[in-house]
């Protein structure tokens, strides 16, 4: 069977959200030659001939707790200028096909099923998806809204961990693009250790933290002590609403702060604030204020402003991860994949500096190429 004949499943947790919708529509647009693959690292020369599944071979599905059809969600994103004008109509058939593969998630309010019953049901959805489409393998990717970290003494698994456990049970590789717990629940440790599947995460690095991971090494390499590093995020949409919950915001900010601590050697003074501004829709503005010392104690300031759309930043990375993880699974790699730390705020090992992470990722592409 040729590589082009092999089908690979991409199963999104949060399949009707902005990131998943943008990724699904974007994959269809690129595959049809309607738009270039801007932002997709796996479409650059270092990743050529690595055996990655073609975009035309990806089959999309997922779980979600909302019922807005993907074509309608895409139209809303186009109205907000997240997707290009006319794109939802151009890829309506592909969006409709993906929408028919979305299954109810959970637990919803009033759901009386146990954790085991939910995991079994989610895994059955994955098995059915793979069987009906004759998939060689499926990558499960969590792109749902951030959930609060479980409290001490919690007796139930958080939703992200239920989906992650189902992925392992169905024999699927797993990517956590969110700050949510996922596979890192202590209750799943034995299942993770024995699954024999590749996995990667956590918390995709798309905007403010991406810039922090580039700037922080500069201060270290130029011997410029950072005295304080503060930041503010203004955003709307589903993420803004979810992160209005202080517990969810704390889970999100932990990754932003970790990048600085890992690179600078300790966490500088300052905090990150997240403000929900519904009028901004799916767009965001991130501002950073960095106070540092120069020669002879001169006090200096660097300020940055990042304005963009999170789902448009995240979607190409999600497609990259689907392809890389599918190829890793195909070659028999197992366990946490630190080579993919380039994509995450809180990766499974590896260096913290983006330039070093990129070098590791390119070397990984060479390893995948050599396995052909």
HEC profile for the chain?
A: CCHHHCCEEEEEECCCCHHHHHHHHHHHHHHCCCCCCCCCHHHCHHHCCCCCCCHHHEEEEEEECCCCCHHHHHHHHHHCCCCCCCHHHHCHHHHHHHHCCEEECCCCCCCCCCHHHHHHHHHHHHHHHHHHCCCCEEEEEECCCCCCCCCCCCCCCCHHHHHHHHHHHCCCEEEECCCCCHHHCHHHHHHHHHCCCEEEECCECCCHHHHHHHHHHHHHHCCCCEEEEEEEEEECHHHHHHHCCHHHHHHHHHHHHHHHHHHHCCCCECCEEEEECHHHCCEEEEEEEEEEECHHHCEEEEEEEEEEEHHHHHHHHHHHHHHHHHHHHHCCCCEECHHHHHHECCCCCCCCCHHHHHHHHHHHHHHHHHCC
CA distance 38 to 223: 35
Distance between CA atoms of 137 and 327, rounded to whole angstroms? 10
In total, the chain counts a number of residues equal to 372
Q: What pLDDT, on the 0 to 100 scale, is given for residue 246?
A: 74
Does residue 53 have a pLDDT over 60?
A: yes
Nearest CA to 77 out of 316, 311, 314, 243 is that of 311
Alpha carbon of 261 to those of 51, 99, 154, 255: distances in Å? Answer: 36, 41, 29, 10
Q: How far is CA 301 from CA 224, 226, 258, 288, 289, in A?
A: 11, 10, 21, 10, 7
Residue 4: pLDDT over 60: no
Q: What is the pLDDT of residues 138-193, one digit of tens each?
A: 999 999 998 988 888 788 999 999 999 999 999 999 999 999 999 999 999 999 99
Please give the mean pLDDT across all residues of the chain: 92
Q: How many CA atoms lie within 13 A of 208 on its CB side?
A: 27
- 86-110 pLDDT, tens digit per residue, is 999 999 999 999 999 999 999 988 9
Task: Give the model's confidence band at 213: pLDDT under 50 very low, under 70 low, under 90 confident, else very high.
Answer: confident
| Cα atoms in the 13 Å half-sphere on the side-chain side of 37 | 19
- Cα–Cα distance for residue pair 180/144, rounded to 1 Å: 9
pTM of this prediction?
0.92
Per-residue pLDDT reduced to its tens digit, 226-281: 999 999 989 887 776 776 677 766 766 676 677 888 889 998 999 888 888 988 88
CA dihedral 43, 328, 126, 192 (to 10 degrees): -130
The count of other CB atoms within 10 Å of the CB of residue 123 is 19
Burial 10-37 (b: 16+ CB within 10 A, else e): bbbbbbbbbbbbbbbbbbbbbbeeeeeb
Residue 230 in contact with residue 317, Cβ under 8 Å? no
Percentage of residues in the chain having pLDDT higher than 90: 76
Handedness of CA 57, 59, 60, 63 (dihedral sign): negative
Question: Could you identify the residue written with the tokens 């993907």?
Answer: 70
Q: Are 8 and 53 in contact (CB under 8 A)?
A: yes
């Amino acid at each position: 069977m040729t590589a082009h004949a092999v089908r690979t499943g991409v199963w999104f947790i949060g399949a009707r959200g902005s990131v998943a919708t943008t990724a699904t529509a974007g994959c269809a647009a690129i595959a049809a030659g309607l738009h270039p693959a801007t932002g997709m690292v796996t479409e650059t020369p270092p990743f050529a001939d690595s055996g990655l599944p073609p975009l035309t071979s990806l089959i999309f599905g997922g779980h979600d707790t909302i019922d807005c059809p993907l074509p309608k969600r895409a139209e809303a994103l186009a109205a907000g200028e997240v997707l290009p004008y006319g794109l939802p109509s151009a890829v309506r058939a592909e969006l409709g096909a993906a929408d028919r593969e979305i299954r109810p998630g959970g637990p919803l309010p009033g759901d009386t099923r146990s954790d085991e019953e939910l995991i079994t049901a989610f895994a059955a959805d994955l098995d059915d998806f793979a069987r009906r489409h004759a998939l060689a393998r499926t990558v499960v990717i969590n792109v749902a809204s951030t959930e609060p970290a479980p409290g001490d003494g919690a007796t139930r698994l958080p939703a992200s961990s239920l989906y992650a456990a189902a992925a392992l049970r169905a024999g699927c590789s797993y990517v956590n693009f969110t700050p949510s717990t996922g596979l890192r629940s202590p209750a799943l440790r034995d299942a993770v250790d024995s699954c024999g599947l590749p996995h990667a995460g956590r918390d995709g690095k798309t905007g403010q933290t991406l810039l922090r991971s580039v700037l922080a090494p500069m201060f270290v390499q130029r011997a410029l002590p950072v005295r304080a590093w503060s930041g503010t995020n203004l955003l709307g949409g589903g993420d803004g609403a979810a992160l209005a919950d202080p517990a969810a915001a704390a889970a999100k900010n932990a990754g932003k702060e970790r990048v600085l601590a890992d690179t600078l050697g300790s966490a500088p003074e300052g905090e990150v604030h997240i403000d929900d501004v519904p009028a901004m829709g799916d767009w965001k503005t991130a501002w950073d204020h960095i106070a540092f010392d120069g020669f002879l104690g001169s006090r200096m300031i660097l300020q940055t402003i990042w304005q963009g759309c999170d789902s448009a930043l995240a979607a190409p990375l999600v497609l990259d991860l689907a392809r890389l993880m599918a190829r890793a699974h195909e070659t028999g790699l197992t366990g946490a994949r630190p080579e993919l730390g380039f994509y995450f705020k809180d990766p499974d090992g590896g260096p913290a500096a983006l330039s070093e992470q990129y070098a590791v990722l390119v070397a990984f592409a060479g390893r995948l190429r050599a396995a052909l």
